[in-house]
Every structure is written in structure tokens, then in C-alpha cells.
């Protein structure tokens, strides 16, 4: 059930956010260029911030390119 909820939330994020609909890239959120999206960087987008805990599959407090790719 959690996987279904996550999938639905990711689909909603990808389709409802104008930024994602326009194909915003990983680099858009990785503002410091360190190769990951921190919680602080994710906070620039309310939907990404909300999904951050579910997308952060390894629980390290950062989104890798692979984790971020789940929403695209």
C-alpha cells in the first residue's frame, strides 16, 4: 500500500507541478552543485519537500540523481 501511495504521490508531483511538467532537471534543485539535493535545496519546491522522505530511499538526508529520477 505504501508503494502505491508513493507512486500516486510521485505521479501527482510530476504532472501537477509546472516546473516538473516543463522538465526541470536535477541541476535546477542542486543549487550548490555538489551532486545531491539536500533537504534545504528541496525546500525550494513544496511538493519535492513533501516527498523528500519517501524519495530518499537510503535515508541519508540527500537525494541522489537516481533517487530524484523516480519523479521523472
pLDDT tens for residues 13-41? 555 554 554 457 899 999 999 999 999 99
pLDDT number for residue 70: 87
Domain locations in the chain as residue ranges: 31-68
Q: Is 55 exposed, middle or buried (0-12, 13-18, 19+ CB in 10 A)?
A: buried
Amino acid at each position: 500500500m505504501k508503494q502505491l501511495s508513493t507512486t500516486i504521490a510521485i505521479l501527482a508531483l510530476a504532472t501537477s507541478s509546472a516546473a516538473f511538467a516543463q522538465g526541470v532537471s536535477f541541476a535546477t534543485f542542486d543549487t550548490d552543485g555538489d551532486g545531491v539535493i539536500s533537504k534545504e535545496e528541496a525546500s525550494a519546491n513544496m511538493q519535492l519537500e513533501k516527498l523528500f522522505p519517501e524519495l530518499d530511499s537510503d535515508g541519508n538526508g540527500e537525494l541522489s540523481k537516481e533517487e530524484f529520477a523516480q519523479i521523472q
